[in-house]
């Protein structure tokens, strides 16, 4: 019998993975933001992507 994974069910699954290469300045900005906002790097990336929505036409 296959056991289900334990953990909390999510209302917002995140099945997609991305990898990003950053220059030193971008990495420093990301690190400073994460420290200031107390978030993980992926959460900061999600927030940045959502800000791009404003630029869509």
Distances (CA, A) of 47 to 6, 8, 15, 41: 28, 23, 17, 10
Q: What was the pLDDT predicted at 5?
A: 67
Pick the residue with more confidence: 45 or 15?
45
- DSSP class of residue 3 equals P
Contact 17, 24 (CB under 8 A): no
Chain CA centroid to CA 38, Å: 13
Which residue's structure tokens are 């959502």?
A: 50
Q: What was the pLDDT predicted at 11?
A: 87
Q: How confident is the model at residue 13 (pLDDT cuts 50, 70, 90)?
A: confident
pLDDT one-digit tens code per residue, 38-55: 999 999 999 999 999 989
Strand boundaries in the chain, DSSP class E: none
Residue 9 has pLDDT above 80, yes or no: no
């Amino acid at each position: 019998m296959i056991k289900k994974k334990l953990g909390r069910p999510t209302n917002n699954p995140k099945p997609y993975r991305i990898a990003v290469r950053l220059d030193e300045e971008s990495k420093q900005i990301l690190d400073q933001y994460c420290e200031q906002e107390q978030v993980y790097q992926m959460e900061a990336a999600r927030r940045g992507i959502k800000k791009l929505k404003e630029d869509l036409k």
